[in-house]
Amino acid sequence: MDNAKAVAVEAVAASERKMVDSLKDMVKIPAISPLSGGKGESARADMLESLISGFGIKVRRYDYVDDSKAKRSNLIATYGGAKSTLWVISHIDTVAPGDLALWDHDPFDPVEKDGKIYGRGTTDDGQSAIGSIYALKALIDAKAQPRYNFGVCLAADEEVGSEYGIKRLLKENIFGKDDLILVPDFGTSDGMSIEIAEKGVLWLRITAVGKQVHASTPDLGVNAYRAMIRLLYEIDRVLHGKYNAKNPLFSSDYSTFEMTKHEANVESTNIVPGKEVSYMDCRILPEYKIDDILNTINEAASKVGADTGAKFKVEIFNREDPAPPTKSDSKVAVELANAIKSLRNKEPKFIGIGGGTVAKHFRDENIPAAAWETCEDIAHIPNEYCKIADMVEDAKVFAYMAL
């Protein structure tokens, strides 16, 4: 390891206690979307802004006011005089704590135990937010001259769609096409999986309307339940047959089309239901277009509708079109893999996942983005925690990549 890298990595290691204290300070200030009953990120951003300002650099703040009049706050800080920037994109909002009875401690009064910190938002995405802040500090303290500027982006609103976070920031001329985007908001416990592709997501509500009658005289009605069964069977058959590509990046290496929830229909066994509502969760490989899949579903609905006499309505209530994957030889993928290999003596692998990080929004803009961190799979659960070692070791990777 060259000297500058060694100095920065050492500086990160030396700030472990401060990182722990900052993470605790941060977790104490709730930052939940008003859509989930919270007040937004503004108070938490105040705390982080003064923390970073204390390093002697300017923090740019982007406050957006949402429909509930809450301030949704995003922070940007950069260091270095290079041409392009390595951005570490984390988010400072969290989900709600859920049922408090399931927590061993107050989710907003963090507890440190056995090398872990417990509290809401410690792993998702606190450890990365704090890690990126202290990687920045390490570079400043070391007076480093990084190959890439180091950019800390602390975004709002990730848990509820990023409308007041990354989606807005992408319109502010902050990120350049040559920048490297690292999103430490997906991880594995061994830290050896670099996510470079995500499936598209499509959630559907399908309604069948028939005619309700007594079950002894079904000929007088149209059984919406039977029509729905036929439609779902047809959709299952046609979608899996037509969109059957495999992509080895993904652990489920094909597009998934799953029937999930359905709504209760009639109260009695002797009633033919006149209405049936079912739901589907589809995760679509980047090889396919969601419009094509919707066309296929609508064709099936017309066909089964004509056969059964039922009327179908197909509604979309969540849609994320798949973005083009980031190439494994893109700068961010290569620099990240090199940093992991150098610091951990192991070769990471590139993978795809079923959707869910803001890396997608960068890929949509043709800016390569990789999602990576080291963490347990415990986001959103009660007694969420992060391992202090993961926070510190990942921060070393962030700093190393810039040098």
Instruction: State the catalytic residue, choosing from 93, 125, 159, 384.
Output: 93
**Order of all β-strands in the sheet with 116-118:** 111-113, 116-118, 385-387
Q: What are phi and psi of 151, to 5 degrees?
A: -115, 125
Contact flag: residue 198 with Zn ion (CB under 5 A):
no
Burial (CB count within 10 angstroms: exposed 0-12, middle 13-18, buried 19+), residue 246? exposed
For residues 124 and 195, which CB has a smaller minimum distance to Zn ion in the complex? 124
Contact flag: residue 276 with Zn ion (CB under 5 A):
no
Contact flag: residue 157 with Zn ion (CB under 5 A):
no
112 noted as active-site residue: no
Here the tokens at position 336 are 């990240």
Q: Of the ranges 103-111, 184-192, 275-283, 334-342, which one interacts with Zn ion (CB under 5 A)?
A: 184-192
Instruction: State the catalytic residue, choosing from 124, 157, 158, 276.
Output: 158
Here the tokens at position 386 are 């992060």
Least spacing, CB of residue 395 vs Zn ion, in Å: 17
DSSP 161-190: TSTTTHHHHTTTT-S-TT-EEEE-SS-BTT
CA distances from 315 to 132, 203, 262, 280 (A): 40, 8, 14, 10
Least spacing, CB of residue 329 vs Zn ion, in Å: 27
> In this structure, are residues 195 and 371 in contact, taking their beta carbons and an 8 Å threshold?
yes
Q: Of the ranges 48-56, 63-71, 166-174, 177-185, which one interacts with Zn ion (CB under 5 A)?
A: 177-185
| Backbone CA torsion sign across 134, 136, 141, 144 | positive
Q: Give the residue, chosen from 41, 157, 179, 185, that forms a contact with Zn ion under the rule CB under 5 A.
A: 185
For residues 124 and 393, which CB has a smaller minimum distance to Zn ion in the complex? 124
For residues 89 and 402, which CB has a smaller minimum distance to Zn ion in the complex? 89
Contact flag: residue 393 with Zn ion (CB under 5 A):
no
Contact flag: residue 125 with Zn ion (CB under 5 A):
yes
Of residues 21-60, those binding Zn ion (CB under 5 A): none
Q: Which of 316, 327, 257 is nearest to 285 (CA)?
A: 257
Least spacing, CB of residue 90 vs Zn ion, in Å: 8
* Beta-ladder partners of 349: 193
Contact flag: residue 124 with Zn ion (CB under 5 A):
yes
329 noted as active-site residue: no
Binding site for Zn ion (CB under 5 A): 124-125, 185
Q: Mind telling me the catalytic residues?
A: 93, 158
